[in-house]
Chains A and B, each alone.
Chain A
Amino acid sequence: MPRVEFRGISKRYGRNEVLRDLSVVLEGGVFNVVLGPPGCGKSLLLRLMTGIEPADQGSVVVDGHDVSDLSPGERNIGYVPQSFALYPHYRVFDNIAYPLVLAGASKSGAEPAVRRIAEMLRIDGLLDKRPDQLSGGEKQRVAIARGLVKDTKLFVLDDPLTGLDFKLRERLFDDLREMRETLGATFVYTTSDPLESLILADQVHVLTSGRIIESGRVHDVYRAPRHLHSMQLLCFPRANVLDGRLVRSNGSATCRTELFEVPVSLQSDELASGDAGRSVKVCIRAEDLVVGGTARDGSVRFPVAVVLAEDLGGELVVHLDAGDTRLITALRHDRDVDLDGTDMTAQVEPEAVIVFDAESNQRLGQGRGGRHG
């Protein structure tokens, strides 16, 4: 399965350098998700890959072959663009067949491929309709089918579910994963949505400030992010971030925030003793912040007030005020918690406190439990 490498890619528009010396390897035969905030250059990365746009510097390498100078047609990549337009006068069949016809296939020659992909996306009953007879979700499926109809093993999908309501997306999550497996292809998919990334991705690549800041298996990046932005982009509900200072206290590193103090195990012992301290970002996932319940030994505790409990059905997302800081916790609905109090205590296990450098945003370490020396 095609493996795609971006090597030292830069691209600017006027004074705006969108991608800066970006390098990443997209594994073959898996679902790759490029996750980044809106406007970070995700779509551009895909356009560089398909050859619709050239890079200023760097190269795109597919299975060891530099394809940077090949035309889009020669690269043979299936493409689902972000803003799709179906041809209003064409039947659904002809809309889906279009990329094949464009590549020289006859209509009858295209038919088996069109029927197969339409069946997989459950729109085979719509092939004779025109776009204006379709619902929003059906149109989206047609656009996806058009992108996936090509006989190739490399597909790029540019945030194709954006704007769809959650129920339609839910169904397409399953379909897209299944399609990738059935086609046995490499998928490269962009989104800014944490849940979409978590559900779809095998591999996630986090894009901010023009670079891929972290790549890895999505579970690993979720559980042990190496970069502040990975944690912020991949958590739903959003991760809690506090300003803090990392200081030496009695020979061991300690992190102080306005709410609590916690001993920290550093990944590398680069914090020299006598260091006046450095600014850090202190992160706690919503699920690691526990409100109510009995106090646990060794947990970090501080007072909070409940602002709003949002009911997601299966979960509650609770917004809390702790001093001047707004925090979020998530809990399953089966946990019996009284959330009406204003004087409540939040607690977190020390190990769930993750510390990032405030300047480089790189992970420095995490809280340390117990009563160590």
Chain B
Amino acid sequence: MAELEVRQIRKDFGSFTAVKDVSVRFDSARVTCLLGPSGCGKTTLMRMIAGLETPTSGDVLFDGAPVTSLSPSARDIGMVFQYPVVYQGLTVRQNVELPLRATRGLPPSERARRVADALEILDLTGVADNDVSRLTHALKQKVAVARAIARQPHIILLDEPVTNIDATTKSQLKHALRRLTRELHQTIVYVTHDQTEAMTLADEILLMNDGEIVQRGSPREVYNHPAHRFGGWFLGNPGMNFVPHEVSRNGGDGEIRRPLFAQTMSIEGHDGRTEVIVGVRPEHLTVGTDASADGVRARIKHAAIVTGGQQLLALDVDGVGMKAKVSAGSRYRVGDLVLLSCRYDDVSFFDADGAKLSITLKQRTARG
């Protein structure tokens, strides 16, 4: 196992800074996903770890020792790219074995064992003697992964390897990554722009935007509690609603109400701000028609069926546009008047710059 760390790493391309003085430690025995939109710097960061790109400043450290000046081949890493790199004309087994032949001091029996292990982990044993050039894209990608892991490098870097790959292969890859981290304690860094891929495969997500790491956490943590407005927007289909709320004063306390709350709510931790932005995910909004229920009135402007038969509703709440995603089988129509509410735990707060605010929200209690 190896601990991987980058310190104050930076990459400039002319006047454009792709990675802005990022410091982060990647834990061993975990799958860490670098997730972000195109241009966020994730690939550049990975290429600097691999040695394919020279940092403008800062260091890459393996187990505390700088490797920044080492060539890619001198670093103990395995890499898998989006398009599978395989050696045409060789069998699957030969493909996996090839890099091991160049490894000095590795006895043939050990070599054979590692190849067999790698093939087994990726469920390739049955096609071990097939010509690799005849395999499907998905199988070739598995061969590329098997080759990267057979060398038993301490760090494995994967660049969107399962884009356009079927569920079976994804599942096998997921299990393979899990085994590698659990049994060999390898450090796995996985780069993707696809939130589903990251949420499905990662132990931990490093969310990137504009050359910086915006948030680090388990997939559900990052999804449910975005540390920045960016994470609320980027994750989710569609992303969070962001609704500015005016803070009024009641003695020392702050209060907010419209447009999202039917009753006046007390807030703590707003630090005297006169406005906060309330973030709530479309699927966390409850839509109902029961007039006795608590909620704010909203009119449906558009209703579309989306993923898994759910309805995505565009709503007008006091002139503010919001989106709600309600369960399959709902039959709301354009023009319907509904009541909108949400659980207080599902609400996030942000300041005008998008930074998360630690605000607690509670229903105002009658005084005196």
Residues of A within 8 A of B (CB): 135-136, 165-167, 170, 174, 177, 195, 198-199, 218-219, 222, 236-237, 285-288, 307-315, 317, 319, 326, 330-334
Task: Choose, from B71-79, B194-202, B241-249, the stretch at the interface.
Answer: B194-202
Residue of A nearest to B234 (CB): A167
A170, A287, A307, A308: the one within 8 Å of B308 (CB): A287
Are A237 and B307 within 8 A (Cβ)? Answer: yes
Are B305 and A315 within 8 A (Cβ)? Answer: no
| Count of CB-CB pairs between chains A and B under 8 Å | 102
In the bound complex, CA of A326 to CA of B168 (Å): 9
Are A314 and B234 within 8 A (Cβ)? Answer: no
In the bound complex, CA of A166 to CA of B38 (Å): 11
- Write the nearest CB–CB distance from B13 to chain A, whole angstroms: 15
A–B pairs, 8, beta carbons within 8 Å? A170-B237, A199-B304, A307-B171, A308-B174, A308-B200, A312-B237, A317-B307, A332-B310
In the bound complex, CA of A192 to CA of B137 (Å): 22
Are B282 and A165 within 8 A (Cβ)? Answer: no
In the bound complex, CA of A298 to CA of B211 (Å): 55
Are A167 and B239 within 8 A (Cβ)? Answer: yes
The verdict on A319 contacting B325 (CB below 8 Å), with A136-B38, A199-B306, A310-B196 known, is: no
In the bound complex, CA of A104 to CA of B193 (Å): 44
Interface residues of B in 172-216 (CB under 8 A from A): 174, 193, 195-196, 199-200
Are B309 and A313 within 8 A (Cβ)? Answer: no
Interface residues of B in 25-44 (CB under 8 A from A): 37-39
A sample of 20 more A-B contacts (CB under 8 A), given A307-B171, A312-B307, is A167-B239, A199-B304, A218-B304, A219-B305, A285-B309, A286-B308, A287-B310, A307-B167, A308-B167, A310-B196, A312-B237, A313-B223, A313-B236, A314-B236, A314-B325, A315-B310, A326-B167, A330-B309, A333-B283, A334-B283
In the bound complex, CA of A167 to CA of B170 (Å): 23
Question: Please, which residues of chain A bring their CB within 8 A of the CB of B170?
Answer: 308, 310
- Write the nearest CB–CB distance from B181 to chain A, whole angstroms: 17
* 9 interchain residue pairs of minimum CB distance: A330-B308, A308-B171, A311-B199, A287-B309, A314-B283, A319-B167, A287-B328, A287-B308, A199-B304
Are B283 and A167 within 8 A (Cβ)? Answer: no
Question: Please, which residues of chain B bring their CB within 8 A of the CB of A311?
Answer: 196, 199-200, 219
The verdict on A312 contacting B199 (CB below 8 Å), with A165-B37, A319-B171, A334-B283 known, is: yes
In the bound complex, CA of A230 to CA of B358 (Å): 48
**Residue B153 is within 8 A (CB to CB) of chain A in the complex:** no
Are B305 and A309 within 8 A (Cβ)? Answer: no
**Residue B233 is within 8 A (CB to CB) of chain A in the complex:** yes
**Residue B217 is within 8 A (CB to CB) of chain A in the complex:** no
Are B167 and A314 within 8 A (Cβ)? Answer: no
Are A330 and B193 within 8 A (Cβ)? Answer: no
Overall SS of chain A's interface: mixed
A135, A165, A167: the one within 8 Å of B233 (CB): A167
**Residue B360 is within 8 A (CB to CB) of chain A in the complex:** no
The verdict on A310 contacting B200 (CB below 8 Å), with A136-B38, A198-B304, A330-B308 known, is: yes
Contact with A along B310-343 (1 / 0, CB 8 A): 1010100000000001011100000000000000
Residue of B nearest to A330 (CB): B308
**Residue B111 is within 8 A (CB to CB) of chain A in the complex:** no
- Write the nearest CB–CB distance from B120 to chain A, whole angstroms: 19
- Write the nearest CB–CB distance from B267 to chain A, whole angstroms: 25
Question: Please, which residues of chain A bring their CB within 8 A of the CB of B299?
Answer: none
Interface residues of B in 250-266 (CB under 8 A from A): none
Question: Please, which residues of chain B bring their CB within 8 A of the CB of A309?
Answer: 200
**Residue B158 is within 8 A (CB to CB) of chain A in the complex:** no
Residue of A nearest to B220 (CB): A311
Name which of B167, B235, B306 has the most chain A CB atoms within 10 A of its CB: B167
Question: Please, which residues of chain A bring their CB within 8 A of the CB of B168?
Answer: 307-308, 319, 326
- Write the nearest CB–CB distance from B306 to chain A, whole angstroms: 6
B37, B302, B304, B307: the one within 8 Å of A315 (CB): B307
Question: Please, which residues of chain A bring their CB within 8 A of the CB of B142?
Answer: none
Question: Please, which residues of chain A bring their CB within 8 A of the CB of B234?
Answer: 167
In the bound complex, CA of A218 to CA of B304 (Å): 9
The verdict on A314 contacting B305 (CB below 8 Å), with A165-B193, A170-B238, A308-B200 known, is: no
**Residue B281 is within 8 A (CB to CB) of chain A in the complex:** yes
Are B237 and A199 within 8 A (Cβ)? Answer: no
Residue of B nearest to A314 (CB): B283
Name which of A237, A285, A310, A319 has the most chain B CB atoms within 10 A of its CB: A310
In the bound complex, CA of A237 to CA of B38 (Å): 25
In the bound complex, CA of A287 to CA of B314 (Å): 22
Residue of A nearest to B233 (CB): A167
Name which of B233, B306, B312, B329 has the most chain A CB atoms within 10 A of its CB: B306
In the bound complex, CA of A317 to CA of B196 (Å): 10
In the bound complex, CA of A39 to CA of B200 (Å): 31
Are B199 and A195 within 8 A (Cβ)? Answer: no
Question: Please, which residues of chain B bring their CB within 8 A of the CB of A317?
Answer: 196, 307-308
Residue of B nearest to A331 (CB): B308
In the bound complex, CA of A195 to CA of B200 (Å): 21
Question: Please, which residues of chain A bring their CB within 8 A of the CB of B238?
Answer: 170
Are A198 and B306 within 8 A (Cβ)? Answer: yes
In the bound complex, CA of A5 to CA of B312 (Å): 31
Residue of A nearest to B329 (CB): A287
Are B239 and A170 within 8 A (Cβ)? Answer: yes
Residue of B nearest to A321 (CB): B168
Are B282 and A314 within 8 A (Cβ)? Answer: yes
Are A330 and B307 within 8 A (Cβ)? Answer: yes
In the bound complex, CA of A237 to CA of B307 (Å): 7
Question: Please, which residues of chain A bring their CB within 8 A of the CB of B38?
Answer: 136, 165
- Write the nearest CB–CB distance from A119 to chain B, whole angstroms: 18
In the bound complex, CA of A310 to CA of B167 (Å): 9
In the bound complex, CA of A332 to CA of B326 (Å): 9
Question: Please, which residues of chain A bring their CB within 8 A of the CB of B233?
Answer: 167
The verdict on A177 contacting B302 (CB below 8 Å), with A310-B200, A312-B196 known, is: yes
Question: Please, which residues of chain B bring their CB within 8 A of the CB of A219?
Answer: 305
Are B167 and A236 within 8 A (Cβ)? Answer: no
In the bound complex, CA of A317 to CA of B166 (Å): 13
